[in-house]
A and B are shown apart, each in its own frame.
Chain A
Amino acid sequence: MSCSKFETDIALYAGGDLPPARIARVEAHLADCADCQALAEDLRAEQALLGELRDGPLEDALLAQVRQRVLVEVRRADFSPRGALAPLLAIAAALLLAVVLLWPRHNPPKPVLALSGAAPRAAAASHAAPTAAPLIRKSHHHLRRPPAAQPSPPLLVQFVTDDPNIVVYWLIDQKPQGD
């Protein structure tokens, strides 16, 4: 067998990478071939030089620059998954708030007029059956707008997220309270 057939295995053998089953054949050839012995020696010398590349000095200034650039980048933009979600959470919160505030009211609160005197029960009934016609009595009655018709202040719901910088506020309109 010519030496060229052994070169690949010798290159592995020199680095200790040759599978055990092929070692004996290579060693037998090396024992009889001065050229391949020289090749193996060259390869071992080459590996020693490669190993020295690992031990060579590195410029600390280059490493320091990398370190500084990384830390600046990390601190400037939070790369953590929580930080990566922050913009999405903010957008979601804004959309939610917009939907809540701008959603068309199908049953806008109508002014409910209640009769003085007659009244608590009738007024209560009007709230119990919102589809009924508004209770309006004419002139001989004294009309007044009951306190319940005053718009209630919106309910503020606050969602606290893991990120202290993100708090979702949800304003909910409340139904006017009856008497």
Chain B
Amino acid sequence: MEPEGIALPMTAYPRENSGDMAAFERIMSQSERRVFRVALRLLNNPQDAQDAAQEVFLRLYKHLPSLDETRGYEPWLYRVTVNVCRDIARGRRHSLGLAEVPEPPTPQPDAYHDAERAQQREIVRRGLSRLGGKERAALVLRDVEGLSTREVAGILGSSENTVRSQISTARLKLRDFTGRLLRRRS
């Protein structure tokens, strides 16, 4: 299975007329999975993730004429996604308890959905939802999205040292959580 969103490089989209609907729709179709996925990981709720993605793309449309296409839209989209998710989480004051974490989509019969591996992923996903907002954002961008530390720092508006500290702490916390659950199950 080809991972969605991976084909989109961190390069500029071909620029079309500012505000042009066709260009906007194309950018949205290319990045919607990535934006929605990050929002889902940060908010742990599909409806909230939908709201976040909607807000991100409305902002994209509004700011499209003023964006520097030579720098690509992805950093901007990531930054706005993180900010929008932060606002939504603040506004709704989600407690990220296990009961609120939705179950993953119905598994399909392929190697990816090997039962044991799927269970481990689910534990990691739950552990991710237990992290604080900044640590979770840093870890999602670095380890889930695969961005570099520098890119994450740029998106979060932090220094690279701060991001390293956040992802290090987050990895250790996640390891404690997953290790505890996995040991309990085994």
A92 — which chain B residues lie within 8 A by C-beta? Answer: none
Q: Which of B46, B61, B128, B179 contacts A42 (CB 8 A)?
A: B179
Out of A12, A49, A80, which one reaches B168, CB within 8 Å? A12
Instruction: Give A20-68 interface residues, CB cut-off 8 Å to B.
Output: 39, 42-43, 46-47, 49-59, 62-63, 65-67
Quick check: B65 and A55 within 8 Å, CB to CB?
no
Contact with A along B140-159 (1 / 0, CB 8 A): 00111110010000000000
* Category for how many chain B residues contact A: 35 or more
Which residues from B are CB-within-8-Å of A49? 120-121, 124, 178
**Does A79 lie within 8 Å of B108, measured CB to CB?**
no
Evaluate contact between A43 and B149: CB separation under 8 angstroms.
no
Asked if residues B58 and A15 are in contact (CB atoms below 8 Å), the reply is: no
Please give the distance in Å from B167's CB to the nearest CB on chain A: 7
Answer yes or no: A179 CB below 8 A from chain B CBs.
Answer: no
Q: How many A-B pairs with Cβ below 8 Å?
A: 131
Q: What's the Cα separation between A69 and B61 when bound, in Å?
A: 13
A37–chain B nearest beta-carbon distance, Å: 14
Binary per-residue interface labels of chain B (1-27) against chain A in the complex, 1 for a CB within 8 Å, 0 otherwise:
101111000000000000101001100
A74 contacts B by Cβ under 8 Å: yes
| CB pair B36 A62 closer than 8 Å | yes
Tell me if A53 and B108 are in contact (CB < 8 A).
no
Contact (A54, B3) CB under 8 Å given A42-B175, A74-B58: yes
State whether A58 touches B33 (Cβ < 8 A): yes
Contact partner of B65 (CB less than 8 A), chosen from A66, A73, A81, is A81
Taking the complex as formed, is A11 at the interface, i.e. its CB lies under 8 A from any CB of chain B? yes
A73 CB contacts on chain B under 8 angstroms = 54, 58
A163 interface residue, CB < 8 Å from B?
no
B80 at the interface (CB under 8 A from A): no
A50 touches B61 (CB 8 A): no
A51 and B179 alpha carbons, distance in the complex (Å): 18
With the chains together, A62 CA to B172 CA distance in Å? Answer: 32
CA distance A82 to B53 in the complex (A): 24
- Which B residue's beta carbon lies closest to that of A77? B58
Q: What 1/0 mask marks residues of chain B from 105 to 133 whose CB sits below 8 Å from any chain A CB?
A: 10010001000010011001100100000
Please give, as numbers and ranges, the residues of chain B lying within 8 Å of A70 by CB-CB distance.
28, 54, 57-58, 61
| Residue in A closest to B60 when the chains form the complex, CB atoms | A70
Closest CB in chain B relative to A110 CB, distance in Å: 54
- Can you list 30 pairs linking A and B with CB atoms under 8 Å apart? A7-B172, A8-B165, A8-B168, A8-B172, A11-B171, A17-B149, A43-B175, A49-B121, A50-B128, A50-B143, A51-B143, A53-B124, A54-B146, A55-B4, A55-B112, A56-B112, A58-B105, A62-B36, A62-B49, A63-B32, A66-B57, A70-B28, A70-B58, A70-B61, A74-B58, A74-B61, A79-B61, A80-B65, A81-B66, A82-B19
Pairs A-B, 5 closest by C-beta atoms: A55-B3, A50-B143, A11-B168, A11-B171, A80-B19
